[in-house]
Amino acid sequence: MRSTLQAFMKRPTTWVGIITAFMFQVIFSVIWMTGYDGVTDRTDQLRIAIVNEDTVMGGAIAGNLLNNLSFDMIEFELLEAARTELDERKLQMVVHIPADFSLKVADAAGSGSIDYYINESNPALIKSIMSGAAAQITAEVNRQAVKMGVQQTLAAANMPEEQAAAASASLSERVVSNVQSTNVVEGMNNQMVPMMMVLASYVGAMIMGMNLEQSSMVIAASTGKWSRFAARSLINVVSATLVSLVGSTLLVSLGGQVEQGFLHLWGFQLLFLLVFMFVSQMFLYLFGMAGMLFNIMLLSVQLVSSGAIVPRELLSDFYTGLGAALPATYAVDGNMNILFGGPGVGGDAGMLAIIGFAAIALSAVSVMFKRGAVR
């Protein structure tokens, strides 16, 4: 037993494994604790649009909401324009005050309704925060309606003064919420798919790259550096094609929600998986096996900054800017569009292609400056 233990401890790979276990704890603790620090204090960075079509009470209500709510409030003239930006995740919620809002509030037999539009093709935290915001806005409108009082407005409409006073006093319970979700996510299992796909794809690419690097070191004495580079690139392409096909097929066969169809899902997963492979192997080309430490850091940073778990709007400027340069951000955004509904993924695919070509170019430069192995 003692001799066996000594034999293990003499091997560099044993120490690498132990150090890697330590580094996982250090890296994930530092990045996740700093990345998610202050998230709940940044809800004022979430954007809510107000569309007012009511000419009686709507202007005053919209103005008070724009000035008093603790969100990034903006005003839109057209509901369709606001809903388009909501679909593109530039907004987190749209508040619509209908043209007949004041009339329905004043009607003793009815109630005024405010429409709220929430895009569920987002991290689950968005829906939770916006649902709470909708309740807050409805309560605020009720208070404003009572404070403003429409007694004079009702009296001007030839309603008897006593009836006007009674209707005005009852306004605190005359405004209701009408929450409408777009791109509805069907169940928690589907909500977690974008994060699962990014996590599984990048971890798989990391492990595959590590093993290809070890194989490359073994055959270095009998092969040229450019032939190894070409062979590894070809292996990446073939592997990404087959792995993405298996992943997409399993997702669909297990009841996964796919709004834009299987071919879109497979093609996009093929793209971001291939980019993950080239990016993770870039660090191995540059730093050898020590590049795995960079991959561990990149994995943790991408899980934090990609928007798969927490909305990017709630992160610090550092992690938001860092996420804009990393492939997982665009993989998550595109996956949400394909899986749950939304705009096309052309922009996300373009950014992934740029990142992938940059990784290939840096890897090729690293190969160029490496000395060939002695045969």
For residue 184, the cross-strand partners are none
Per-residue pLDDT at 161: 59
CA atoms of 40 and 225, how far apart (whole Å): 50
Query: Worst-scoring range by mean pLDDT, 142-146, 175-179, 200-204, 344-348?
Result: 142-146
CA atoms of 131 and 35, how far apart (whole Å): 25
For residue 117, the cross-strand partners are 94, 180
pLDDT digits (tens, 9 = 90+) for 297-345: 999 999 999 988 888 888 888 999 999 999 999 999 999 999 998 888 9
Give the number of residues written for the chain: 375
Confidence tier at 160 by pLDDT (50, 70, 90)? low
Per-residue pLDDT at 158: 58
Per-residue pLDDT at 163: 60
Per-residue pLDDT at 155: 54
With contact defined as beta carbons under 8 Å apart, do 277 and 208 qualify? Answer: yes
**Closest-CA residue to 20 (of 280, 289, 304):** 289
Higher-confidence position of 1 and 321: 321
pLDDT digits (tens, 9 = 90+) for 216-228: 888 888 888 899 9
Residues 134-145 have a mean pLDDT of: 81
Question: In the chain, what percentage of residues exceed pLDDT 70?
Answer: 89
Per-residue pLDDT at 375: 45
pLDDT digits (tens, 9 = 90+) for 54-105: 888 888 888 888 888 888 999 998 999 999 999 999 999 999 998 888 887 7
Give the sheet arrangement for strand 175-182, strand by strand.
72-76, 47-52, 93-97, 112-119, 175-182
Asked if pLDDT for residue 29 goes beyond 70, the answer is yes
- Dihedral pair phi/psi, residue 95, rounded to 5°: -105, 120
Predicted TM-score (pTM) of this structure: 0.83
Higher-confidence position of 284 and 158: 284
Query: Worst-scoring range by mean pLDDT, 105-114, 133-142, 169-178, 270-279?
Result: 169-178
Q: Are strands 112-119 and 93-97 parallel, antiparallel or unpaired?
A: antiparallel
Cα→Cα distances 344→67, 87, 88, 268, 305, Å: 34, 11, 9, 11, 22
Per-residue pLDDT at 146: 61
- Hey, what domains does the chain have and what are their CATH numbers? 40-182 (3.40.1710.10), 188-369 (no CATH)
Asked if pLDDT for residue 107 goes beyond 70, the answer is no
Per-residue pLDDT at 279: 96
User: For all residues of the chain together, what is the average pLDDT?
Assistant: 85
- Dihedral pair phi/psi, residue 277, rounded to 5°: -65, -45
With contact defined as beta carbons under 8 Å apart, do 266 and 245 qualify? Answer: yes
Q: Which range has highest mean pLDDT (47-61, 146-160, 174-188)?
A: 47-61
Per-residue pLDDT at 374: 44
The one-letter amino acid code at 206 reads M
